[in-house]
Amino acid sequence: MKILIAYDGSPCSDAAIDDLVKAGLPERGEARICSIAEVWMPPSSGMDESITDARIEKLLEHHRAKGEALMNEASANAERAAVRVSSILPKWDISSEAGYGSPAWELINAAESFGSELIVVGSHGQSAISRFFLGSISQKVLSEAKCSVRVARGRNEVDPAPARIVIGFDGTRGAEAAVNAVAERNWPAKTEIRLVSVVQDASPTIFARNTAARALRHSRCCSMRSRNRIYG
């Protein structure tokens, strides 16, 4: 299994790493930590012979120096996160990389290049503008990525209680893929998994039961419980 872990040094990205202990990951795999500096990198001095104004060239040099400093910080963040991930996934091959540009798109491109089966991000980054639910970067990755995305909320200490997973199932291919993805993971002992099938009309309860039963047949989980909830 290959996973790409986005890391920006924020508490939420730390929480995303800590939460890997409950991610049901296999004993071995490949993980790449990717840290993106949100900066524009102008060309180095002397590369563009058309620039003759000394003031413009000085401005470009200033922005490049700032960008390189942010790149160095991103690289240090990625390396530090790699050490942290190695302590959680000791038998995995861990690598790190840093880049620059639009974080969301760079992460998506990095995941595709790496062949990632899962992207791990924190719910919020270091943006000055907070979001009610998800940060702009995690929202974009969640919407545009071609593989599964795991979004971790901002908590640094992992709850010692058994993991609890809720799967919404409506009989579609996407829902079946979600069940299969959960079934293929190696979850910690005593993990509880609940399938929930919801219909808008309160009358067709048999449909909801059949849908949940179909999900159970699709799954290879040994200790999965299903509950039908009907909402009008």
pLDDT one-digit tens code per residue, 206-230: 555 666 666 666 555 444 444 444 3
Band of pLDDT at residue 78, cut at 50, 70 and 90: very high
pLDDT of residue 202: 55
**Cα separation, 118 vs 30, whole angstroms:** 11
Question: Which pair of structure tokens corresponds to residue 213?
Answer: 């039963």
State pTM to two decimals: 0.74
Predicted confidence (pLDDT) at residue 115 exceeds the cutoff of 70: yes
Side chain identity, residue 112: E
pLDDT of residue 209: 62
Q: Is residue 207 left, alpha or beta, with left meaning phi > 0 and alpha meaning psi from -120 to 50?
A: alpha
State whether CATH 3.60.15.10 applies to domain 2-152: no
Predicted confidence (pLDDT) at residue 109 exceeds the cutoff of 90: yes
Matching residue, tokens 């939460």: 19
Mapped onto helix, strand or coil, the DSSP state of residue 4 is: strand
pLDDT of residue 132: 41
Measured CA angle at 21 (ends 103, 12), to 5 deg: 35
Question: Domain segments of the chain: what residues?
Answer: 2-152, 164-228
pLDDT one-digit tens code per residue, 123-163: 874 444 444 445 788 888 988 999 999 988 765 555 667 78
pLDDT of residue 130: 44
